[in-house]
Structure 1
Amino acid sequence: MISQRDDLAEKIYAISVLQQNFVIERLKTLHLNGLQSRSLSFIAEHSGTMQRDLANYLGKQQATVTNILKVLEERGLIYREIPKNNERQKNIYLTTEGEEMVKKVQAIFQELGKHIESAFSPEEQQQFTEFLKRAEEQLT
């Protein structure tokens, strides 16, 4: 019988927790939490996005996203603009400071990737990626 600590799903979960802790600790140095960093990254990829689209991406209620955006706006990382053709909506954009913050957030994930990849040869990385894709397919 396989002990729970050696179970594959348990190992994946444990690695996920370690990865989250790695990211959270580094985001703290930027005075960001996970939802704020994910919001900034989404806005960077979807400049001019609407709050509804961000809420869908985050899987959060509109009120939660409003609070996230309020903090990011107060920090000068984003701004909201009302388009001339629709005064009921606001489009969201990064400020220059927000763009710089996104680069810092991306650097955290690059650092994480380097840590993980350093444990494997290029061939092992490719094989491991294929294994993970198969595991992911089983859950979708």
Structure 2
Amino acid sequence: MISNRDNISEKVYLLSMFQQNYVVSSLRKLHLNSLQARSLSYIFHHPGTIQREVADYVGKKQATLTNVLKGLEERNLVYREIPKNNERQKNIFLTAEGKQLVGQVNIIFDQLDEKVRNGLTKEEQTQLMINLTKAEKNFKEY
């Protein structure tokens, strides 16, 4: 009989908890939470995106993201622009301050990735990615 600690799902859970604690602790120094940081990072990689796309990426409802974006706007990290051809839509961009802060956020996520990869050979990293992608697909239909 396998104890709970020997289950793959338990190992994935523990790794996830370690990652969350690392990210929360690191982002706290930037006065950000994980949702704000992931939103900034998405906007950085998709300038001019719309709120629905950011909400889909972070896995939250648009109403929740509205509050996140309002807070980021108040901190002068993002701004919204209404395009002339669609007055119902608002495109979201980073301010100069937002771009500077997202650079620090990306460093944190890069350091996190390095912690996960540390001690694994390139082949082990590749195989881990393949296996995790396969496992992830089991939840796509869920």
Q: Write the mapping of 1:99-114 to structure 2, written as runs, cut at 5 A.
A: 99-114=99-114
Q: Once the 2 structures are TM-superposed, how far is the Cα of residue 65 of structure 1 from its aligned partner?
A: 1.3
SS in 2 for 1:97: helix
Tell me how many residue pairs correspond in the alignment. Answer: 140
Change (3 A) 1:81 1:124: same
Match of 1:22 in 2: 22
Rounded Cα–Cα distance in structure 1 between residues aligned with 2:55 and 2:130: 31
Query: Gapped runs of 5+ residues in structure 1?
Result: none
1:59 Cα offset (Å): 2.8
Q: In structure 1, what is the equivalent of residue 92 of structure 2?
A: 92
CA distance in 1, matches of 2:41, 2:57: 11
Corresponding residue SS for 1:49: coil
**RMSD over aligned Cα atoms:** 1.5
CA distance in 2 between counterparts of 1:16 and 1:46 reads 26
Between stretches 118-127 and 43-52, larger displacement belongs to 118-127
- Residue 57 of structure 1: how far off its partner (Å): 2.4
Counterpart residue number, 1:138: 138
Deviation sequence 1:4-61 (CA, Å, 0-9, x none)? 1111111111111111111111011111111111111111122111222222323322
Give me the TM-score of the superposition, normalised by structure 1: 0.90
Instruction: State the alpha-carbon separation in 2 of the partners of residues 136 and 58 from structure 1.
Output: 16
Cα distance, 1:52–1:16 mapped onto 2, change above 3 Å:
same
Which runs of 5 or more structure 2 residues have no equivalent in the other structure?
none
3-state SS of the aligned residue for 1:42? helix
Distance in 2 (alpha carbons) for counterparts of 1:58 and 1:131: 23
The alignment's TM-score, normalised by the length of structure 2, stands at 0.89
Letter in 2 for 1:98: G
Evaluate the alpha carbon distance shift between residue 66 and residue 114 of structure 1 in structure 2; reply closer, same or farther with a 3 A threshold: same
